Structure 1
Amino acid sequence: MTRNRERVIEILEKAFLECEKVALEDLQFSYKGILFPATLSSPETLEALKSFEARSDDVILIGYPKTGTNWLDEIVRELESTDAKYTEEEMKETINVEKELQIFPRLEFGDPGKFERMKKLPSRRIILTHLPPHLLPRSFFQSKAKILLLVRNPKDTAVSYYHFNNNLPMLPSFASWDEFFTAFMNGRLSYGSYFDHLVEWNKCIDNERIMVISYEELKENQIVGMKKIAAFFGFSLSEEDFPRIVKKTSFQAMKEKSKETHGKFGDILFRKGVVGSWRGYFSKAQNEETDRKFHDCLRGTKLAARMKYDVYCKA
């Protein structure tokens, strides 16, 4: 169902104001060795998350920051609502419930009491998170809920995350690309190491309730990607539905309406959305270091094969 846009903008603008009062060193907190944005989450919220109860029909979307999760979220919501054929009244009712319950746009964002309030949300709940497996509630893996994991090549992810950190007041900025690159390679960013995130998820991908899709394959052919997603979640759509949804959810379309959907956060969230922009940032040494790191962590894995690293990260 369509997200309550007013609520999203309200949350983000409140966080913008709060971070102006926070000292640089307090913008992030550490939980189990991983950094998180302090104006959006808390250790108490992450502790409370452990007892979250997943439903068998929950639609769970997961990806490391700046791998395209906002785009995927919009695509899946359009697929789900088209399948469900909600009436206008049902749409309004859900939007009002989300607003009343003060539901945040990420599972790990908000106050510890949000998980109790989420029990009142109607099915199907679409749940979005950046978290690695060990920080997710056990119910995600014990229920029949399905998980869609979004992956993106590390070099484009790093460039996108660099601009995101430098443009978002809620996160520490970096004086240079070189400084950021060092932090990225060492996992000293919100949500920790990109590489550790993938290594953990690679251990889970044989689970039949987990599907992997890459940012790059969605960019290459969004309709084919959407058909895979629809089949995985059991959404039933007509052939005519897919081109319509592509037109509505292309990166450019979302960028053009980002002010409406995300307020002043829109320009920060939707920057370029292209594949291969890393070539304008990586030095030869940085390129080689990333290649070594990726291969050391994921060489020969099923996840690496799905990502086509040698195609999208070739110098």
Structure 2
Amino acid sequence: MTEKTFTEEIEKALEKSKGLNLKELLFCYQGTLYPVTVCSAETFQALENFEARNDDLVLVSYPKCGINWLIQIVNDLIVTTLQTKHENAELPFIECGDPEKFQRMKQFPSPRIVATHLNYNHLPKSIFKNKAKILVVFRNPKDTAASFFHFHNNAPSVPSYNSWEEFFSEFMNGSVAWGSYFDHAVSWNKHIDDDNVLLLTYEDLKEDLLNGVKQIAEFFGFASTMEQSQSIADRASFQVVRERSKETHGAAGPLLFRKGVVGDWKTLFNETQNQKMDAKFKECLAGTKLEAKLKYDVYCKA
């Protein structure tokens, strides 16, 4: 990916947010809210005819769950194992950008990185038809909410929420960009055992990045040696990624890679909010494989 053009695209989107209030920032498409700065109904319509390839590397996460980190790791795997550098000037998220981007993507060499925040039911049908592999990353909902709130309130041009209370209530209702975390989780949990799906968690990647890199390489069929996997993991440590974030993502870098810690939610949540989130999580995911993977009791108990 040419970092300069990618950076320009992100900065253009941030520029578009200037002067908008929260209501003006979001528009509704088929029942889900999206930011007007990067998404449009026309692009969603064009996306329905997107032609996936069976060697596309599909990366999925709800916002603020570590997908930009994942994109860097997978990019590094391509460069390291295939010795090719991708010149890709598009925003990697398929739902973001102009409707013509899909025509331009036809010219990209394989393997293409296809990133998205969409839930399972909103993905283009060709991804399933052509059996592209899908790597999904999830993060515990409390840290996700905290990180999403900080992104809104730290990005100078993105409209801020008046308070954490206001954001929390919108997050719980799914009235935020890309909709409900819980709808997203429920939709992916149903496909956790599909042959072409690998689900990792942010917390596990933080805990043992080398193992995560090895799992990703194996899933996508990269012949990565132990030495290569180790050097990719070293370059992808949150510390290193954050230090390089201005270079790779421009002004948005430090916003996209803010703290990267597990448990930061404890600085924001009060007792009532903890109880609400615990009850909602239980209602949506109790007894599921995703609940077990997310280790909710380890990471989300006050």
TM class by shorter chain equals over 0.9
| Count of residues in correspondence between the two structures | 302
Residue of structure 2 in register with 1:290 after alignment: 277
Residue 49 of structure 1, CA deviation: 0.4
Contact 2:22/2:160 (CA < 8 Å) preserved in 1?
no
Distance 2:289 2:51 in 1: 29
Distance 1:274 1:21 in 2: 31
Contact 1:52/1:115 (CA < 8 Å) preserved in 2?
yes
Residue of structure 2 in register with 1:156 after alignment: 143
Task: Describe the shift of the 1:171–1:35 C-alpha distance in structure 2 as closer, same or farther (beyond 3 A).
Answer: farther
Contact 1:61/1:128 (CA < 8 Å) preserved in 2?
yes
CA-to-aligned-CA distance 1:278-297 (integer Å, 9 cap, x gap): 11111111111111100100
Task: Describe the shift of the 1:171–1:21 C-alpha distance in structure 2 as closer, same or farther (beyond 3 A).
Answer: closer
Residue of structure 2 in register with 1:28 after alignment: 26
SS at 2:261 equivalent: coil
TM-score, length basis structure 2 = 0.96
Q: Which of 33-42 and 12-21 deviates more?
A: 12-21
Q: Give the fraction of aligned pairs with identical amino acids, expressed as a percent.
A: 51
CA-to-aligned-CA distance 1:24-66 (integer Å, 9 cap, x gap): 5322111011111111110110111011111010000000000
1:147 aligns with 2:134: yes
Contact 1:27/1:170 (CA < 8 Å) preserved in 2?
no
Pairwise CA RMSD of aligned residues? Answer: 1.4
CA-to-aligned-CA distance 1:47-90 (integer Å, 9 cap, x gap): 1101111101000000000001001111111122222123xxxx
Contact 1:60/1:148 (CA < 8 Å) preserved in 2?
yes
TM-score, length basis structure 1 = 0.92
Distance 2:137 2:51 in 1: 22
Task: Describe the shift of the 1:118–1:249 C-alpha distance in structure 2 as closer, same or farther (beyond 3 A).
Answer: same
CA-to-aligned-CA distance 1:3-29 (integer Å, 9 cap, x gap): 210011111222232222545532211
Distance 1:227 1:176 in 2: 41
Residue 164 of structure 1, CA deviation: 0.7
Residue 172 of structure 1, CA deviation: 3.2
Distance 1:187 1:152 in 2: 16
Distance 2:183 2:7 in 1: 31
Task: Identify which of 37, 40, 43 aligns with 1:42.
Answer: 40
Contact 1:37/1:171 (CA < 8 Å) preserved in 2?
no
Task: Describe the shift of the 1:23–1:162 C-alpha distance in structure 2 as closer, same or farther (beyond 3 A).
Answer: closer
Q: How does 1:169-248 map to 2 (within 5 A)?
A: 171-248=158-235
Distance 1:145 1:177 in 2: 39
Distance 1:224 1:23 in 2: 42
Gaps of 5+ in 2: none
1:7 aligns with 2:5: yes
SS at 2:200 equivalent: strand
